[in-house]
Amino acid sequence: MNTPAPLAGIKVVEFTHMVMGPAAGAMLAALGAEVIRVEPAEGDKTRTLLGSGSGYFPMYNRHKKSISLDLKSAKGLAIAQKLAAKADILIENFRPGALEKLGLGYDALSQANPRLIYCSAKGFLPGPYEKRTALDEVAQMMGGLAYMTGPPGRPLRAGSSVIDVTGGMFGVIGVLAALEERHRTGKGKLIQASLFETTVFLVGQHMAQLAVTGKAANPMPARISAWAIYDVFETRDDPVFIGVVTDGLWEKFCALFGLDALWADEGLRKNNDRVLKRDQILPQIRELIAGFTRDEVIARLEGTGLPFAPIGKPEDMFDDPHLAATGALEPVTLADGRETRLPALPIAFDGQLAAAASVLPQPGADTRAILADLGLSEDEIADLAA
């Protein structure tokens, strides 16, 4: 079967670094668009980050081409403008005003290419904060997500670049909406996505909680859950999460674990009644589950419809049987030639994931081919290289 490529024929040019912009481009590339990254001669500095940043480049720059350009030179800038003139979509996530100073802002480029959809991924949407520098962590701290994630008084960022990636996703949603509109109008437009507003959207459920109840939401570790049994439980070896989220599942849970006395209590038949008596119920459940191994609990819950989960680590995903069976990890050749597998775009088209093998591009690996496609002669390419 062929890999789904619904965006085949769409050309994207990227002026990006770090995560948010590259993530947006990675999603479009996974959907079949031709994505060209513009990098300096030495390569995007994201390629050489250490520690927690070492996975950024391979995760968010697969299925892309790379061209090296010196945007401070007139010739390099002219090539960038040519790329934008032939592109359907442009993505950028540099500091506010950086590309505008080079003549690569939306106003300038849309004059030469009115069909251009220009996605600007920033820390903040236009407003009082728009000139501030923002990172994923800054947005999580400002927007209330870190407050909700950590225990009271100890704000804690989420354990992945969730705002960068989700912000990039909102950028892609805007791009795809503009692409559909362009079918009717023939014109592109400026799409703006941001880290801060993305964070606020994600904590909107907690804002709504205040509006509905009159009480501010507590951080998740100290929250009053909507369900009495919705927690991580210790077993004889490894912990497991269990959720009992309906009255029917409560009946099933009691039957599975022999909780006849709890089921006989008619004052626990309704979810909200169980929530009010959570402190009474939970110690009994914890003591019960502690007598099993994790695998014994999972074996008992498998196929019942009850939500459950072992507590996985990122490294466990390489050997996850479900991911292996569905092809959700695609082969990737790293820049040093080593091979690994990384998550494919988590969308299936007619039951098939848009997953395909890829090789991370070396800085400028596709420069000559891209310049030739722009119509430059061999002599002109050689002159630019020199």
Give mean pLDDT, residues 299-319.
Answer: 97
Task: Answer for the pair 226, 275: CB distance below 8 angstroms, yes or no.
Answer: yes
pLDDT for residue 347: 97
Q: Please calculate the CA angle 338-341-344 and round it to the nearest 5 degrees.
A: 140
DSSP one-letter code for 87 = -
CA 309 to chain centre: 21
Please determine, for residue 159, whether its predicted confidence score (pLDDT) is greater than 70.
yes
Please determine, for residue 29, whether its predicted confidence score (pLDDT) is greater than 60.
yes
Residues 8-38: b if buried by 16+ CB within 10 A, e if exposed: eebbbbbbbbbbbbbbbbbbbbbbbbbbbbb
Find the largest Cα–Cα distance for the chain.
87
Give mean pLDDT, residues 106-110.
Answer: 98
Structure tokens at 270: 């309704």
pLDDT for residue 31: 97
Give the contacts of 226 (CB within 8 A, at least 6 positions apart). 245, 271, 275
pLDDT for residue 1: 47
Structure tokens at 42: 């030495």
Q: Rounded CA gap, 293 and 56, in Å?
A: 36
Give mean pLDDT, residues 209-235.
Answer: 94
Please determine, for residue 385, whether its predicted confidence score (pLDDT) is greater than 90.
no
Helices (H), 13-159: 20-30, 56-60, 74-86, 98-101, 106-112, 136-143, 145-149
Bridge pairing between strands 308-310 and 240-244: antiparallel
CA distances from 251 to 208, 254, 268 (A): 31, 5, 10
139 pLDDT band (50/70/90 cuts)?
A: very high
More confident site: 84 or 386: 84
Please determine, for residue 179, whether its predicted confidence score (pLDDT) is greater than 70.
yes
Give mean pLDDT, residues 79-101.
Answer: 97
For CATH 3.40.50.10540, list the domain ranges present in the chain: 11-202+327-385
User: Scanning the structure block, which residue is given the tokens 């849970």?
Assistant: 253
**What average pLDDT is seen over the chain?**
96
- What residue type is assigned to position 134 of the chain? A
Structure tokens at 339: 């091979």
Pick the CATH number of 11-202+327-385 from 3.40.50.300, 3.40.50.10540, 2.60.120.260, 3.20.20.80: 3.40.50.10540
pLDDT for residue 225: 86
CATH code of 225-312, in short, is 3.30.1540.10
Tens digits of per-residue pLDDT, 239-269?
999 999 999 999 999 999 999 999 999 999 9
For CATH 3.30.1540.10, list the domain ranges present in the chain: 225-312
Report, in angstroms and rounded to the nearest whole number, the Rg of the chain calculated over CA atoms.
25
Burial class (CB in 10 A: 0-12, 13-18, 19+), 41: exposed
Give mean pLDDT, residues 99-118.
Answer: 97
